Amino acid sequence: MTLVVNHLKKRFYDPGRGEFFACDDISFEVAKGEIFGLLGPNGAGKTTTLRIISTILKATEGSVTVCGHDVEKEPEAARALIGFLSSTSGLYERLTVTEILQYFGRLCQVDEKTLAERIKRLLSSLQLEPFAKARCGSLSQGTRQKVAIARAIIHEPELMILDEPANGLDVLATQVMHDFVRESKAQGKSIVLSTHIMGEAEKLCDRIGIINSGRLLACGTLDELKQQTGGNNLEEVFISLVQDKDLMRS
């Protein structure tokens, strides 16, 4: 397994809400070459889960291993295997596209010759060549997202973590994103994709985990989820699971 998430819990404190669990006993696995979708409404705990997997946050309880490396005990080894991409592109406004790729490639200890080849290949495959010397602050949202993709995969990670990557993108930029996900899968990369867009999850994911209020309500292929809930499509499955949960609570 590329990714194993085991009984993950994350407690936060908010002055208004007091203590609360953003992730409450979440467990799932992602195999090599698999696209795992984490589907849930806003505030369900998707981003927190992904941030713990990508070592940005530390879990309160539970464990996460990436290709056998525990993210808490061996964060640097795990980081070398992870590529993280979110809707907020996280680019340095005053660095050029090439400078950003060089910076992150070197930080990820890619040797200079390989780095130069990868930059050339990525610029070409993502149609970024005309923008190679442009500063990121001057790029359109779609182009920025392409640069963010290139930055996330410059070190050829085994596990891609995509946190609502198509948020705020137009149709064409979304298509580029979806193509990238499919290509990564074809290359044998494992992908964890968080989204609240049903169509996106249905179209791209091999397995889907439905998350709400920090709890993983169900996990399986689309057919398994349909069988489990009796829904005809993902939207019905999702509503059924979330409403059941809310009824149980009330």
Residue numbers at the binding site for other proteins (CB under 8 A): 12-15, 51, 54-58, 76-77, 79-80, 82, 84, 86, 88-95, 99, 103-104, 106-109, 135, 151
Least distance to other proteins, CB of residue 228, Å: 34
Distance CA 212, CA 40 (A): 6
Nearer to other proteins, 67 or 241 (CB): 67
Least distance to other proteins, CB of residue 122, Å: 16
Least distance to other proteins, CB of residue 242, Å: 27
Nearer to other proteins, 76 or 223 (CB): 76
Distance CA 211, CA 214 (A): 6
55 Ramachandran zone, left/alpha/beta (phi>0; psi -120 to 50): left
Cα-trace Rg, the chain: 18
Q: Which residues pair with 87 in a beta bridge?
A: none
Least distance to other proteins, CB of residue 249, Å: 26
Terminal-to-terminal C-alpha distance of the chain: 37
Structural tokens at position 109: 């200890």
Nearer to other proteins, 13 or 186 (CB): 13
Least distance to other proteins, CB of residue 93, Å: 7
Nearer to other proteins, 147 or 198 (CB): 147
Please, how many CA atoms are within 13 Å of residue 59, restricted to the half-sphere of its CB?
A: 27
Least distance to other proteins, CB of residue 82, Å: 6
Nearer to other proteins, 82 or 210 (CB): 82
Please, how many CA atoms are within 13 Å of residue 180, restricted to the half-sphere of its CB?
A: 28
Nearer to other proteins, 10 or 207 (CB): 10
CB 194 within 8 A of CB 206: no
Nearer to other proteins, 94 or 203 (CB): 94
Question: Would strands 61-66 and 35-39 be described as parallel, antiparallel, or unpaired?
Answer: unpaired
Place of tokens 């059941």: 244
Distance CA 28, CA 103 (A): 33
Least distance to other proteins, CB of residue 11, Å: 10
